[in-house]
Amino acid sequence: MKYCPHDYQEYTTDFIIRNPVSAVFLEMGLGKTVSTLTAINELCFDCFSVRRVLVIAPLRVARDTWPAEIQKWDHLRDLTFSVAVGTEDERLDALNRNTDICVINRENVQWLIEESGFGFDFDMVVIDELSSFKNNQAKRFRALLKARPAVKRIVGLTGTPSSNGLMDLWAEFRVLDLGKRLGRYISNYRAEYFVPDKRNGMVVFSYRPKPGAEEAIYEKIGDITISMKSTDHLKMPECVYNEIPVRMDEKERAKYDAMKTDLVVSLHDEEIDAGNAAALAGKLSQMANGAVYSEDKKVLPLHERKLDALEDVIEAANGKPVLIAYWFKHDLARISERLKTRHIPFEVLESPESIRRWNAGEIPAALIHPASAGHGLNLQAGGSTLVWFGLTWSLELYQQTNGRLWRQGQKADTVVIHHIICEKAIDERIMTALRKKEKTQTALIDAVKADLEGSK
């Protein structure tokens, strides 16, 4: 296929070529993969400044998206690639091939650098979803930091750079510029830009930015960072966010409130307890969705309010395909059972073939888990309606999953994103948390937004 880049794609490619260290914050649908590959192509064959590139990506994106993009475009036909996923022998075989690009899933970064015995033979690294390196204690972060000094060029790609707040940025930029802009130590970064927020005595649970800290951070990273919103550069369909309230009855509410207050409840002759705040949040989320796991992982039903609401949404869609995001395994089992009972054809999107069938319009209802389908999958051809059956605390997974449908290439005039919300339950708190986090991320995106007009 002939590549006819938009102005913003040309700008992105040129930015990567001009900056040996670059952070590229492009929202879903802006073509960050082909823009980066075009830069790699020029750096390899026109500038002769790059010999071999390592691309680090989520598993499905590494396996499916990057190879598909390389093979899709005519101007990339000279690029050779290998994909280092699968068994250890398969990964080693891919690494040992003489290719311009080697794509590896992020879970195997530590194996590659510390265990594979393969000499780190890459002078350029592309991190697709830079936000997956936001944890400075993670093994993948520490391993890549060891190899980083040998890398001449590095690119960090993401649409969600600070999904949990500005604290995420330190590790992401530490691996990019080795601490030049935000410092080499997170303790210094924290002391300079943050103050303790929630705490218990000397134990600090969270931090909040000091006055003016956001602007100062954005200024520090601005020289190597570009940011673009899809709404700035694409004719995007309207995106409508809808909340569908459901309400537990008195008996169901009593069980929920007992768990919330006492951290323990009796359900179907089984005792359910939560040992700490995190466990309690998980139990309450399960109960809001309609079922909860017992200590021996037995699924104990509480209500079917969300299943009824989901059935109503599918019926109201009147034959239009519906994408359903679930969170717990028992959500998947109960949704599947309800759809079978109502004779509604469905599939779980977990293979390239199921994704192909969805995009071909062959699946009336499809189920996805945000953690496995949030990044990199193009699902916009299959439908324009998404239903959040179970919510996630992660803004990154929330935005990325929404972006599977609301993106470039969506043919519908309107994308509708439904949220089935259990009233007076933890669902309402999760939605509030997502909104608050989004404000911080929006501020970051706006602060480093590329001024395309000024670059011309």
Judge if 118 and 254 occupy the same domain: no
Residues 325 and 199 reside in one and the same domain? no
- Map residue 62 onto helix, strand or coil: helix
Q: Are residues 287 and 366 in the same domain?
A: yes
Q: What is the 3-state secondary structure (H, E, C) of 116-176?
A: CCCCCCCCEEEEECHHHHCCCCCHHHHHHHHHHHHCCEEEEEECCCCCCCCCHHHHHHHHH
Residue 266: the pLDDT is 63
Percent of the residues in the chain that have a pLDDT greater than 70, as a whole number: 91
Query: Which pLDDT band holds residue 7 (cuts at 50, 70, 90)?
Result: confident
Q: Which residue has the higher pLDDT, 276 or 428?
A: 428
| Amino acid symbol at 354 | S
Residues 101 and 215 in one domain: yes
Region 384-399: what's the mean pLDDT? 92
Lowest mean pLDDT among 63-77, 222-236, 441-455: 441-455
Q: Which residue segment(s) compose the domain that 162 sits in?
A: 7-230
Tell me, yes or no, whether 77 and 220 share the same domain: yes
Average pLDDT value for residue range 37-41: 97
Tens of pLDDT, residues 151-199 = 999 999 988 777 678 998 999 999 999 999 999 999 999 999 999 888 8
Pair (49, 170) in one structural domain: yes
Contact 16, 22 (CB under 8 A): yes
Average pLDDT score, the chain: 89
Q: Please give the average per-residue pLDDT across 32-57, as a whole number.
A: 95
Q: What is the mean pLDDT of residues 300-319?
A: 90
* Alpha-carbon distances, residue 3 vs 6, 126, 157, 382 (angstroms): 10, 21, 21, 24
Is 69 a residue whose pLDDT tops 70? yes
pLDDT of residue 420: 95
> Do residue 182 and residue 330 come from a single domain?
no
What pLDDT does residue 192 have? 95
Strand ranges in 217-314 using DSSP code E only, listed in sequence order: 225-228, 238-246, 264-267, 270-273, 291-293, 299-301
Whole-number CA gyration radius for the chain = 23
Same domain, 223 and 245: no
Of residues 414 and 147, more confidently modeled: 147
Distance CA 384, CA 375 (A): 17
Whole-angstrom distance, CA of residue 401 vs CA of residue 413: 19
Q: Residue 334's Cα: distance from chain center in Å?
A: 25
Are residues 22 and 60 both part of a single domain? Answer: yes
Q: Does the pLDDT of residue 454 top 60, yes or no?
A: no
196-211: pLDDT as tens digits:
888 887 888 888 899 9
Q: Are 213 and 252 within one domain?
A: no
Instruction: Flag whether pLDDT at 422 surpasses 60.
Output: yes
Distance CA 153, CA 358 (A): 37
**Shared domain check, 80 and 192:** yes
Contact 125, 54 (CB under 8 A): yes
What are the C-alpha distances in Å from 372 to residues 60, 188, 376? 8, 34, 10
pLDDT of the residue at 197: 84
Those residues with Cβ within 8 angstroms of residue 210's Cβ, 6 or more apart along the chain or in another chain: 193, 194, 195
Residues 48 and 124 in one domain: yes
Structure tokens at 12: 């992105």
Helical pair 426-447 and 277-289, crossing angle rounded to 10 deg: 110
pTM over 0.85: no
Domain boundary among 168, 195, 230: 230
Is 207 domain-assigned? Answer: yes
The count of structural domains within the chain is 2
CA angle 397, 402, 406 (to 5 degrees): 145
